Structure 1
Amino acid sequence: MASLRRAMCLGAAVGVATALATTGVAQANDLPGNTTAPAPPPATGNASNQELSAAVSRIKVTQTSGPTGGKRGTLSSTDVNWEPPPCWYEPAMTPEQLKKFSETGLALGQVSPHASWGGQKLWTDHYRDGKDAYNYEDGSLITRKGYDNYNLGEDGYFWRGVATDLEDPDSYGCERVMFWQDAGEIPDVPNAPTARTLAEYAYNKVKVPDTEIELRPTTKSTVNLPTWVWLDKGTFKDVKVRAALPNTGLWAETTAKPVALHLDPGTEDAEVFPASGDCAIHDDGSIGTPYTKANADKTPPCGIRYLRATDGTPYQLSASVTWQITWQGSDGTDGDLPDGTFETTQDMNVQEIQSINR
């Protein structure tokens, strides 16, 4: 089914004009029934408006709180089946912008995530001269009514679908030819954007700090003696990002809250404390208890005891922080998203010593 939809999603319009012979681009002499399977659309190719030539999202994501310096990375979802929304619609052009694009240069650009139109006449026929456009949407040939002179003088935007992954079969759910919507309104179409859409889009934009844990001993442990693990208070703080879709009033704030540190000693010849390997993150951002010589032989609230020495190849100690993800939207909606994790590893050498003098 996915291959069939891929083969049917190249947009075409009635008319004749000179156009580029680019694979995957609908040319001005492409009639319904003469469609072919397109390659991924070109990222650029029209000097008059490169944004329309690339089916990219205009969602703006900014971090509003949390650490910004040092090493940071993106989260991995704990739910292996969770995916961000495959596609949605966004405002793309004002009437004035579309007129300039259509009547300048090559007029090569995306009319939907998987369909490009190449040649001025395709654009002017449909958006200026009122001629119908034809394209396949969800496996059916759809006729879309044309526009009068780009809707100049009206207040609104032409909306177009965008997709996060063009190889995802579900990304073909936003193939409607770029269409008009009055200003201040969200179109009543499947896959119209919502606050949740923005929150889910922002999930992969959250940058969290590296997990740099404190160890005693530091890089060399001793068989059967505990290695204490901790982080001072304030080390981990909530990270909040705001995703806003221009010209819609839609926004969402996605918050990542650190809730646990998981330790994996890198070998089965070890014990972790607690036994689950999950060290709670306290309200002040601290983890575990700092090491002191007086407690050297005691069981740490967060730590590891190695039972076998390394033989020249260090163990790979893994420390991953679990981040709880929540969101709030401009329309009063809110909710939870799957927890995310961020993991770092470090070398651990373990020595065998028969007696220790303190």
Structure 2
Amino acid sequence: MLWTAGTAYADKPTSGAHGGSNGKSVYASASYSTIKVRQISGPTRGKRGSLSSVDVNWKPPACWYEPVFTGQELKDFVNRNDGDGDVGIHESWFGKQLWTDHYRDGKPEHNFDDANTVAEGYKNWNLGKDGYFWRSVAPDKSDPDSWDCGRIMFWQDANVVPKVPHAPTPEMLAEYAYNKVQVPDTEIKLKPTAKSTVNLPTWVWQDKGKFKAITVRAELPRTNLWAETTAKPVALHLEPGTQDATTYPSSGDCRINDDGSIGTPYTQGDADKTPPCGITYLHATNGTPYHLKASITWHVTWRGTGKANGTLPEGTFDTTQDVNVQEIQAVNR
């Protein structure tokens, strides 16, 4: 704790945020981003969930910098909140004098980084200048990587992205949007519906239109930065819930058709046929159902400002369905 006319508080990695999630509290806290996210294509109804990356080592950005205040807005914020708020992810200032010393009267302050670098002060909140004060942002302050953004709030002229580590880029926005993609529940249709029968195939399918590409757009206000992240369904993977089963295809990977359908619907008379997507169980369940896991793989691409584009790790979303399997005895005379 550093005591002056105000208090500078440097925290240790903890979860949570300062204040609420709207209005004035957003600007007091470095846990809230001004990035605007909206879905611009794909299904929006029904039960949905977030993707899980198939790359266990990948994660969206832990921290970045973004514009928060004009000079006048910073001055108004300090006067309105009595100087109580975050000047960086892990540093909060309480008391007006800390703010006025640095942003009004030009007093240097130390950044909260490993090198303990010095941030030069500003005169009169930079009033009259065209630009913004930028601040670090971390959705999860308990993430150790959030400590990589250690600069206190700094000035950047308008229409310019600062050339500092962890400055926002179209790719960063695309990665941020990755976790905002909401995909449909993976529940699939089975035939027979009540009970499967030992050694007879269970057909698996989904009607057309269920699984379509989904695009989410992320924009960072007060910059020209934007990105669109698109998740396209490419395959359904079946795990029967027991080793005593045969999947069709043998890999358990069923192709998703261009119209968003999977497999072929069961029709009467197909009981002895091999389904393009399905399972044959080899042993009955005897009161305890098998847990059939169905996972959709989504191929993820992005594009953004300045014709930037690329790919992100494929994502999966799965559900588990109970399957009861009966055994029918045949008697020969």
TM-score range, shorter chain: over 0.9
8 Å CA contact 2:6, 2:98 repeated in 1: no
CA distance in 1, matches of 2:194, 2:44: 27
What is the aligned partner in structure 2 of residue 156 from structure 1? 131
CA distance in 1, matches of 2:4, 2:52: 49
CA distance in 2, matches of 1:147, 1:108: 19
What is the aligned partner in structure 2 of residue 172 from structure 1? 147
Does 2:332 match 1:344?
Answer: no
The amino acid across from 1:16 in the alignment is: T
> What TM-score, normalized by structure 2, do the two folds share?
0.94
What is the aligned partner in structure 2 of residue 5 from structure 1? none
- The counterpart of 1:285, out of the listed 255, 260, 281, is 260
Q: CA distance change for structure 1 residues 318 and 96 in 2, over 3 Å: closer, same or farther? A: same
8 Å CA contact 1:219, 1:347 repeated in 2: no
Q: CA distance change for structure 1 residues 322 and 171 in 2, over 3 Å: closer, same or farther? A: same
CA distance in 1, matches of 2:231, 2:217: 12
Kindly state the Cα deviation for residue 36 of structure 1 after the two structures are TM-superposed.
7.6
CA distance in 1, matches of 2:16, 2:290: 46
8 Å CA contact 2:13, 2:142 repeated in 1: no
> What TM-score, normalized by structure 1, do the two folds share?
0.87
Kindly state the Cα deviation for residue 343 of structure 1 after the two structures are TM-superposed.
0.3
Gaps of 5+ in 1: 1-9, 20-24, 27-34
Q: CA distance change for structure 1 residues 267 and 192 in 2, over 3 Å: closer, same or farther? A: same
- The counterpart of 1:79, out of the listed 55, 72, 93, is 55
2:215 partner SS: strand
- The counterpart of 2:156, out of the listed 170, 176, 181, is 181
- The counterpart of 2:34, out of the listed 58, 66, 69, is 58
What is the aligned partner in structure 1 of residue 84 from structure 2? 108
1:23-102 correspondence to structure 2 within 5 Å: 25-26=8-9, 37=12, 42-44=17-19, 49-55=24-30, 56-102=32-78
8 Å CA contact 2:112, 2:152 repeated in 1: no
CA distance in 2, matches of 1:129, 1:48: 28
CA distance in 1, matches of 2:265, 2:112: 63
What is the aligned partner in structure 2 of residue 244 from structure 1? 219
- The counterpart of 1:329, out of the listed 282, 293, 304, is 304
CA distance in 2, matches of 1:48, 1:348: 49
2:73 partner SS: helix
The amino acid across from 2:251 in the alignment is: S
- The counterpart of 1:312, out of the listed 287, 293, 299, is 287
CA distance in 2, matches of 1:36, 1:306: 56
Q: CA distance change for structure 1 residues 82 and 329 in 2, over 3 Å: closer, same or farther? A: same
CA distance in 2, matches of 1:72, 1:200: 19
Q: CA distance change for structure 1 residues 167 and 18 in 2, over 3 Å: closer, same or farther? A: closer
CA distance in 2, matches of 1:289, 1:42: 50
Kindly state the Cα deviation for residue 294 of structure 1 after the two structures are TM-superposed.
2.1
The amino acid across from 1:81 in the alignment is: N
What is the aligned partner in structure 2 of residue 231 from structure 1? 206
8 Å CA contact 2:83, 2:94 repeated in 1: yes
Q: CA distance change for structure 1 residues 185 and 36 in 2, over 3 Å: closer, same or farther? A: closer
CA distance in 1, matches of 2:90, 2:190: 51
- The counterpart of 1:303, out of the listed 275, 278, 292, is 278
1:100 partner SS: helix
Kindly state the Cα deviation for residue 39 of structure 1 after the two structures are TM-superposed.
5.5
1:103 partner SS: helix
Q: Larger deviation: 297-306 or 50-59? A: 50-59
Q: CA distance change for structure 1 residues 340 and 60 in 2, over 3 Å: closer, same or farther? A: same
Q: CA distance change for structure 1 residues 304 and 239 in 2, over 3 Å: closer, same or farther? A: same
CA RMSD of aligned residues (A): 2.0
CA distance in 2, matches of 1:240, 1:261: 20
Q: CA distance change for structure 1 residues 266 and 336 in 2, over 3 Å: closer, same or farther? A: same
Kindly state the Cα deviation for residue 238 of structure 1 after the two structures are TM-superposed.
0.5
What is the aligned partner in structure 2 of residue 354 from structure 1? 329
Kindly state the Cα deviation for residue 285 of structure 1 after the two structures are TM-superposed.
1.2
8 Å CA contact 1:289, 1:301 repeated in 2: yes
2:116 partner SS: strand
Gaps of 5+ in 2: none
8 Å CA contact 1:324, 1:338 repeated in 2: yes
The amino acid across from 1:305 in the alignment is: T
CA distance in 1, matches of 2:124, 2:13: 29
Greater than 3 Å deviation, 4+ residue runs = 35-42
Q: CA distance change for structure 1 residues 259 and 37 in 2, over 3 Å: closer, same or farther? A: closer
Kindly state the Cα deviation for residue 50 of structure 1 after the two structures are TM-superposed.
1.3
8 Å CA contact 1:318, 1:343 repeated in 2: yes
8 Å CA contact 1:48, 1:104 repeated in 2: no
Kindly state the Cα deviation for residue 241 of structure 1 after the two structures are TM-superposed.
0.4
2:112 partner SS: strand
8 Å CA contact 1:132, 1:143 repeated in 2: yes
What is the aligned partner in structure 2 of residue 31 from structure 1? none
CA distance in 2, matches of 1:294, 1:50: 64
